[in-house]
Structure formats: C-alpha cells, structure tokens
Amino acid sequence: ENIRLFICLCTCSMTFQACNSSPRKTEDSVETVEEINDSTAIVKKDDSEFLVEAASGGMMEVQLGQSAQANGYSQRIKNFGAMMVRDHSKANEELKALAASKNVTLPSTLGKDHQRHVNHLKGLKGDAFDRSYINMMVEDHKDDVKEFEDASEDATDPDVKAFAAKTLPVLRMHLDSARVIHKALNLAKAPRTM
C-alpha cells in the first residue's frame, strides 16, 4: 500500500512539474509586439524589429532625460537630459507615424532591457546619478549609432532606411556630447598632482 502511494505521489509530482515547465508567456513589451508584427507588419521582420527596438530605446531616452533634469547635479547633465527629451520626443513622433504607415505595432512601455537601465538609475541623485547616467548614455548611444547605421544601409523598406539615415546625425551628436561630458566628469574626479 505504501509503495502504491509513493508511486502515485511521484507520478503526480512529475506530471505537475511537466505542466509547469511549459514556456511562460513573455511580459516583455518588445517581444510581445514583435510577435504581433510577425503577422501584421507590411515590412520585413528585420525592419519591424528595428522600429520596435528604436521605439523602446527612444522612450527610455526621454524617461532618463527627465530623470537627469530632476536628479542631476551638474548643469551639463541637466542640459544634456533636456536635449534627450527634446530630440528623442521628436524622433519618437516621427517613428510612430512611420510605424503606423507600415502597420507595425510599437510597444507602449519599455522593453525589459531598457527598463533595467531606468531601474538602475532610480534612487540615485547628485554626482552618483551624473556619473552613472553619462556612462549609460555613452554606451547606449554607441549601440544606437551602430543599429541606425545598419538600418540606414541594410533596411529593405526605403522609408525605414530613410528614417534611420535622417536620425543618425542626431544620435552621433548625442554620442559626441555624452563623451565630452563623460571626459569632463572624469577629469573633475581625478586627483590633482603637484
């Protein structure tokens, strides 16, 4: 009797584990809309994925720019944040219109990777915020420039290609500005020698 009960419990346990091991529905807004776009977008998958990533990244830049204006210590950081809000809000509006014309659904919230960046800066203020934010902006804009360069050369849809090419100079200017501020903050922190 005990053996039969033991076997039954083991079987139930394995069945329960098998049911729970099925893949869970993702809660990443980027992945969710990419799945929708696989069947609805009128552009190739690479083009729609570029638009989706650009939308999530653009929303992150605006949110972080607002944080820089509120939590930054240096006026340069506050000014850089204001530029991010202005330029990325404009690009986001152009991106929304382009996506709508291509039947591409964009995320309404940040994707997991971009949300991680926002979460990382929450709670930081002053000099600690400035350094973390500008480090993030240098790295993020390096990635953005690469992605937009690729899209401006490789996108199959001419409108997507044109959007990437038009936005690229602004992203390069952001990267250059972030590098200058990054260097200035690091020089300010360096110990002075006689």
95-135 tens-digit pLDDT: 999 999 998 888 888 889 889 889 999 889 889 999 999 99
Q: Mean pLDDT across the stretch 53-72?
A: 94
Quote the CA–CA distance of 185 and 51 in Å, as a whole number. Answer: 33
Is 146 a residue whose pLDDT tops 80? yes
Cα dihedral 90, 92, 94, 97 sign: negative
Quote the CA–CA distance of 186 and 174 in Å, as a whole number. Answer: 18
Cβ atoms 177, 68 nearer than 8 A: no
Note the pLDDT tens digit of each residue in 173-184.
Answer: 999 999 999 999
162 SS3 class: helix
Q: Assign 169 a pLDDT band (cuts: 50, 70, 90).
A: very high
Query: What pLDDT does 21 receive?
Result: 40
Cβ atoms 118, 70 nearer than 8 A: no
Least confident among 6-20, 21-35, 50-64: 6-20
167 SS3 class: helix
Is 13 a residue whose pLDDT tops 70? no
Buried b / exposed e along 111-144 (16+ C-beta atoms within 10 A) = beebbebeeebeebeeeebbbebbebbbebbeeb
Cβ atoms 80, 181 nearer than 8 A: yes
Least confident among 20-24, 59-63, 135-139, 146-150: 20-24
